[in-house]
Amino acid sequence: MKHLSGLDATFLHLETPEMPMHVGSLNVLDLPKGYKGDFYEDAKAFMASRIHLADVFTRKLALMPFDMSNPVWVDDDDIDIDYHVRHITLPKPGTNRQLQQYVARLHSTLIDRSRPMWEFFIIDGLQSGQVALYTKVHHAGIDGQAGVEVGKAIFDLEATGRVVKPPRSRPRSNGYQLGMAELATAALRNTAQQYVKLFKMAPAIARAIGGLAKPDEKAADKAAAAAPKKFNLFAPRTSLNVSITNQRTFAGRTISLAETKYIAKHFGVSLNDVVLGTVAGALRHYLADNNELPAKPLVAGVPVSLREAGDQTANNQASMILVSLATDITDPVQRLKAINTSSNSSKSTMNRFKAVILDDFPTFAAPWLMSGIASMVGRSGIVNLLPPAANVAVSNVAGAPFPMYFAGALVTCYYPVSIASHGTALNVTVQSYNGRMDYGLIACRRAVPDITEIGDYLLAEHKLLMSLTEKYPAAAGATTAPKPVAAPAPEEKEEAKAAAPARKPAARKKAPVKAVAAKKKAPAKAMPVKAAAAKKAPAKKAAAKKAAPRPAARKAAASPRAAAA
């Protein structure tokens, strides 16, 4: 058996029907060319051969008597792969928006705690001919970075896959669950070890808390040194900070990773600051639309990893910092710099306290109390009255910079699907993948019924920041690099066509008419210029030169589809 840490178990104790505590992802897959098989059956067989590569797939919970202590992980000798890997077919026409709505519905339901706490869904019926993979795993087992490590177990670098050794045979246990005496003894032993660990760390914790009142001499700037004095305990109240229901809404958006890096280098901020700046601009527009933008700046709760380099343990090792989104500042560039200052201040404070943050702490006799409080807080509506600590949760996870394959199918996108919570009805999580920044927006449907608007504002804010790189000089010391050119993602083209199907054909019909009219009005002036330009070349070659850009433009526009379709 393996004991859950205090932090891991907290995700179990705080879970309610209104606030499921699992995380997941949505991947759209390109099937191999000429594929004629049953992908669901292939995916099921594929997962059956891979589940032994990650503990999260083969362990389940053993609960303590009377919930007096945290549960433990035990091996499950009887995994029902038909239960864990399921098949769904979308109704026609199978649009990208339908897919995202179905994922939101699947994300609303709790995971069965009597089994290994993961579920995979193979979704077909997409009008593009692709298939989708939606995964969800309970947060008690993994955090964002551990999820990336789990992804390495199920994804390959080549369509042909890799040779995976079968699991070693081991004797099956006779009991479905451990005995009560064994569990109680283990709980007491683990609790004693936790108290001993806490006692040994008490002096270091006291020094760290005392040090927070003093300026950090090694801080990067004066704002970071003065962070404790400038800290604001509460964020302004908005329509996002309410008690939530169990119904979810989801939207995925894609932004170029190269463009995001370019913005960060140009303005001398971090990539994560650009993510926060993009979210800040989107929320500013969204709240202003309904006259809800508060005078005080919004605050983001940003998870910070405590994981040491090389640690691949499938558990939670993270804390959280609060960062001002500076939504009271109109200018996007000044807002971005203010976010950078706030982020640096919070990181400086976290670094001074990081070494003594406990991810494992005594919880004897606390699980049932924590569960009761979580249920009461959510259903009583008290969250609607209390000032929030943060208005939105924003997380940025570094993913694979290269293409990956699942059961022979190319993974074209990697939208994260995270957790909405009481008081923070909107969660924005970003995962980088193969040159993309895939934004996953998950929210309570009652609090945020129009989440697609926030997604569209994200794209608009990113384009605005890109355009401002031409108007503002580069930050001191910023390396000059060519401006990247990125095409829109294929899944977003689909929605754009549905919104304005008649715009492009109309433009193509009008263009030739204007050209002919121009030739008729001034043939004498136009002809000598053309003749002079094409004096040394035959008429056929000149016509070929004029026509050449059109196929090239079509090829450039089609290349993103070929890469992601």
Helices and strands per DSSP (H, E), number in the chain = 18, 16
The predicted pLDDT at position 373 comes to 80
Give residue-wise pLDDT tens across range 280-309.
999 999 999 989 999 999 999 998 877 666
Binned at pLDDT 50, 70 and 90, residue 448 comes out as very high
User: Tens digits of per-residue pLDDT, 467-479?
Assistant: 999 998 888 776 6
Q: Taking 50 as the threshold, does the pLDDT of residue 361 lie above it?
A: yes
Largest CA distance in the chain: 102
- Dump the DSSP string for 285-319: HHHHHTT---SSPPEEEEEEE-PPTT---SS--EE
Kindly report which listed range (54-58, 163-167, 220-224, 374-378) carries the lowest average pLDDT score. Answer: 220-224
Would the pLDDT of 390 be above 80? yes
Domain ranges, ordered by start, for the chain: 2-154, 183-214, 248-308+315-366+379-471
Helix (H, G, I), strand (E, B) or coil at 342: helix
Per the omega criterion (within 30 degrees of 0), is the bond before 215 cis?
no
Query: pLDDT at position 150, please?
Result: 82
pLDDT tens, position by position, 63-119? 877 667 788 888 998 899 999 999 999 999 999 999 999 999 999 999 999 999 999
Q: Pick the closest to residue 263 from 489, 412, 496, 486 (CA basis).
A: 486
Q: Averaged over 480-498, what is the pLDDT?
A: 57
pLDDT band at 563 (very low <50, low <70, confident <90, very high): very low
Q: What value does the mean pLDDT take over residues 541-556?
A: 41
Q: Name residue, tokens 């087992």.
A: 141
Q: Report the pLDDT value the prediction gives residue 539, as an integer from 0 to 100.
A: 46
Whether 382 has a pLDDT exceeding 70, the answer reads yes
Confidence of residue 350 (pLDDT cuts 50, 70, 90): confident
Which range, of 177-181, 259-263, 431-435, averages the lowest pLDDT?
A: 177-181
pLDDT, average across residues 357-368 = 60
For the segment 535-549, the average pLDDT, to the nearest whole number, is 43
Q: What is the pLDDT of residues 235-281, one digit of tens each?
A: 999 999 999 999 999 999 999 999 999 999 999 999 999 999 999 99
Look at residue 201 in the predicted model and tell me its pLDDT. Answer: 62
Q: What is the mean pLDDT of residues 542-550?
A: 43
Say which residue, 340 or 213, is predicted with more confidence.
Answer: 340
Mean pLDDT of the region 183-199? 64
3-12, 247-256, 355-364: least confidently modelled range? 355-364
Asked if the domains 2-154 and 248-308+315-366+379-471 are classified in one and the same CATH topology, the answer is yes
In sequence order, what are the residues at sequence separation of 6 or more whose Cβ sits closer than 8 angstroms to the Cβ of residue 75? 58, 59, 173
Burial of 345 (C-beta count, 10 Å sphere; 0-12/13-18/19+): buried
Please classify residue 392 by burial: count the beta carbons closer than 10 Å to its beta carbon, then call 0-12 exposed, 13-18 middle and 19+ buried: buried
The predicted structure's pLDDT at residue 225: 42
Q: What is the pLDDT of residue 319?
A: 77
Whether pLDDT at 10 is above 90 = no
CATH topology for 248-308+315-366+379-471? Chloramphenicol Acetyltransferase (3.30.559)
pTM of structure: 0.78
Question: Residue 51 carries which DSSP code?
Answer: G
Q: CA 164 to CA 51: how far, in whole Å?
A: 11
Beta strands in 54-130 (DSSP E): 59-62, 72-75, 85-89, 118-124
Query: Of 191-200, 429-438, 503-512, 554-563, which range is least confident?
Result: 554-563
Per-residue pLDDT, 160: 92
Over residues 7-12, mean pLDDT: 86
pLDDT given for residue 559 in this prediction? 39
pLDDT confidence of residue 385: 87
**12 pLDDT above the threshold of 50:** yes
* pLDDT tens column, 497-541: 544 444 444 444 444 444 334 344 444 444 443 444 444 444 444
Mean pLDDT, all residues of the chain: 79
Q: Is the pLDDT of residue 314 over 70?
A: no
Q: With bands split at pLDDT 50, 70 and 90, how would you rate the model's confidence at 351?
A: confident
- What CATH superfamily classification does 2-154 receive? Chloramphenicol acetyltransferase-like domain (3.30.559.10)
Higher-confidence residue of 240 and 378: namely 240
Position 79 scores a pLDDT of 93
- CB-based contact 374:13 (threshold 8 Å): yes
pLDDT of residue 450 exceeding 50 = yes
CA angle, corner 134, sides to 240 and 454, nearest 5?
30
- Find out whether 276 and 339 touch, Cβ atoms under 8 Å: yes
Q: Average pLDDT, stretch 194-221?
A: 59
| Structural contact between residues 246 and 22, judged by C-beta atoms closer than 8 angstroms | no
**pLDDT score, position 349:** 79
pLDDT of 485 > 70? The answer is: no
* Alpha carbon distance 23, 140 (integer Å): 10
Specify which of 168-172, 194-198, 438-442 reaches the highest per-range mean pLDDT.
438-442
pLDDT for residue 186 is more than 90 = no
d(CA 110, CA 289): 34
CB 478 within 8 A of CB 268: yes
Band of pLDDT at residue 230, cut at 50, 70 and 90: very low
